[in-house]
Amino acid sequence: MKLSEILSVIEYDNIIKNDIEICDIVYDSRKATDGVIFVCLSGLKLDGHAFAQSAYQNGARVFICEKEVDLPDDSQIFIVKNSRVVLGEIAAKFFSYPAKELKVIGITGTKGKTTVAHLVQGILNENGIPCGIIGTVGAEFGGKKYPTSNTTPESYELHKLFRAMLNEGCRAVALEVSSLGVKHGRIDGIPFACGIFTNLSPDHIGPLEHDSFEEYAYWKSVFFERCETAVMNFDDAAYTIMKEKCKCKIISYGLDESYDISAKNVRPLRTRNEMGINFDCSAFNKNLKIISPLPGNFNVYNIMSAIGAVISIGCSIDNAVDALRKVRVKGRAEILDIDADYDVIIDYAHNGLSLKSIIETLYAYKTGRIICVFGSVGGRTQERRREMGLVAGSMCDLCVLTSDNPDFEEPMSVINDIAKAVEEVNGNYICEPDRKKAIEKALSISKNNDIILLAGKGHEEYQLIEGVKVPFSEKECVSDYIRRLSTNA
């Protein structure tokens, strides 16, 4: 695509000296080559303008900047007000506006985004509407997975993924929308067929994120200005904040029968290697029986939000209900299919609140002990370690304290911080810094009907050790252990 065609969608203060053919758009100087546009992004940690010279040396000759940069005369420099906004605009143009050809469903909130995104994807896929997903677990479509750098990637990455999804036959995409993604303009220019609000609680507040809870809530709410339909949890008080920015149709959900979608009579569903729920649901005055392999009352809300979203883009209610029987979510209250007299659950719970939530969920299915294997990330706040230690120590029969992405911190240092909190509540614990050995230890001491909770890693398949992501799979640890037992039996 010619440079002039790409720049036709933005305002800039220079003339095009050489209308070259553009092969790509980059904002990382290491990826710069001949024929690219290099966009200088101003970040909290790094300023892309400082890397313009490096991009030039790598072959770039076209630059979009917010201020003047000192480059050789054969450079074409275009000054704009906001390079992040411009990145989204020219990326959409470069990839021929792929978002307009997809039903984009955005999910925002503090908790539940990943689960809801997978529910939406699963329901639509089951109903012949190929759906991609972009979020915490990366991007998934066409049977393949692609890593992403953020929950909500930069706008260029989004448009590139959208185009790839269309090429693979996708007709919809479930996109996790973070508050920082909205604040930093990553979703600018994307038309959302539907936006979902799950819930809101204090999070992502700090020097490099949001100044306050109020600012955090504001950027969540701004998302709904760009949605055709909003599906909102009316049981969460923050829905009133979200509603202020909403100029579209609203679908309400929660436990009150007056809402568009409501639930009652929630019951745990327990079979071998299965912990699910069933409940009565009313959706637009139609009575439904919901059966899902996802456990916990919190998943009632996630399911209702997904139902509202898929209905808003044309999926029938009955077809959505049928699909829910099959949809599972990797690493979120995921029960492993194993040949054992105990159950193993993998969950992403990595702070006190989320750990408390999953353990409370497991209590509804508890007939034996709950053994929790967990750690905490190295180089982070000690308060998180204490919260997790207090929760697990007071709620579980046994804690197996181990490593969870220790990075550059000594694993036993993290473990000892957690152990102090467990001792505060007189909890039982053992320590094993090697996570594989810790999992095997928990399995070896398990009895009939015990539940082993592997908390913290969830969908992750690595351990971050001294800056390196070392491949590590909890599922493989469990299956290898059980396979060895059966072989030696």
List the chain pLDDT tens, one digit each, 489 residues: 999 999 999 998 889 999 999 999 999 999 999 999 999 998 767 899 999 999 999 999 999 999 999 999 999 999 999 999 999 999 999 999 999 999 999 999 988 999 999 999 999 999 999 999 999 889 999 888 998 888 899 999 999 999 999 999 999 999 999 998 999 889 988 999 999 999 998 766 666 677 788 888 999 999 999 999 999 999 999 999 999 988 899 999 999 999 999 999 999 988 777 889 999 999 999 999 999 999 989 999 999 999 999 999 999 999 999 999 999 988 988 999 898 999 999 999 999 988 999 999 999 999 999 999 999 999 877 889 999 999 999 999 999 999 999 999 999 999 999 999 999 999 999 999 999 999 999 999 999 999 999 999 998 999 999 999 999 999 999 999 999 988 876
Instruction: Say which amino acid occupies 33.
Output: T
Residue 203: what pLDDT?
66
Query: Of all helices (H) and strands (E), which one includes residue 220?
Result: helix 213-222
Pairing relation of β-strands 229-233 and 261-271?
unpaired
Burial class (CB in 10 A: 0-12, 13-18, 19+), 127: middle
Q: Find, among 75, 107, 104, 78, the residue nearest to 9 by Cα.
A: 78
What is d(CA 146, CA 423) in angstroms, rounded to the nearest whole number?
Answer: 42
Q: Which one, of 20, 85, 76, lies nearest residue 52 by Cα?
A: 76
CATH fold group of domain 98-324: UDP-N-acetylmuramoyl-L-alanine:D-glutamate ligase (3.40.1190)
Contact of 404 with 350, CB cutoff 8 Å:
yes
Residue of 417, 421, 484, 418 lying closest to 455 (CA atoms): 418
What is d(CA 197, CA 106) in angstroms, rounded to the nearest whole number?
A: 9
Residue 114: both structure tokens together: 């990943």
Instruction: Check residue 206 and give its pLDDT.
Output: 65
Specify the pLDDT at position 13: 85
Q: How far apart are CA 220 and CA 217, in angstroms?
A: 5
C-alpha torsion sign, points 126, 132, 135, 136: positive
Contact of 429 with 346, CB cutoff 8 Å: no
Distance CA 405, CA 407 (A): 5
Distance in angstroms (rounded) separating the CA atoms of residues 9 and 402 = 52
Alpha helices by DSSP H, 128-175: 155-167
Cα-based distances in Å from 47 to 43, 65, 67, 208, 272: 6, 11, 11, 14, 54
Residues 409 and 412: their CA atoms lie apart, in Å, by 9
CA distance 49 to 46: 9
- 166-180 core/surface letters (b: 16 or more CB in 10 A; e: else): beeebbbbbbbbbbb
Domain ranges of the chain: 3-94, 98-324, 334-488
Q: Would you say domain 3-94 falls under CATH 3.40.50.150?
A: no
Residue 165 has which token pair?
């999804």
Cβ atoms of 266 and 255 within 8 Å: the answer is no
Strand-pairing partners, residue 146, are: 139
Q: Which helix (H) or strand (E) holds 254?
A: strand 249-254
Domain range 334-488, CATH architecture: Alpha-Beta Complex (3.90)
Nearest to 392 by CA among 425, 431, 345: 425
β partners of residue 476: none
CA pair distance 211, 215, nearest whole angstrom: 6
C-alpha to C-alpha distance for 161 and 134, rounded to whole angstroms: 9
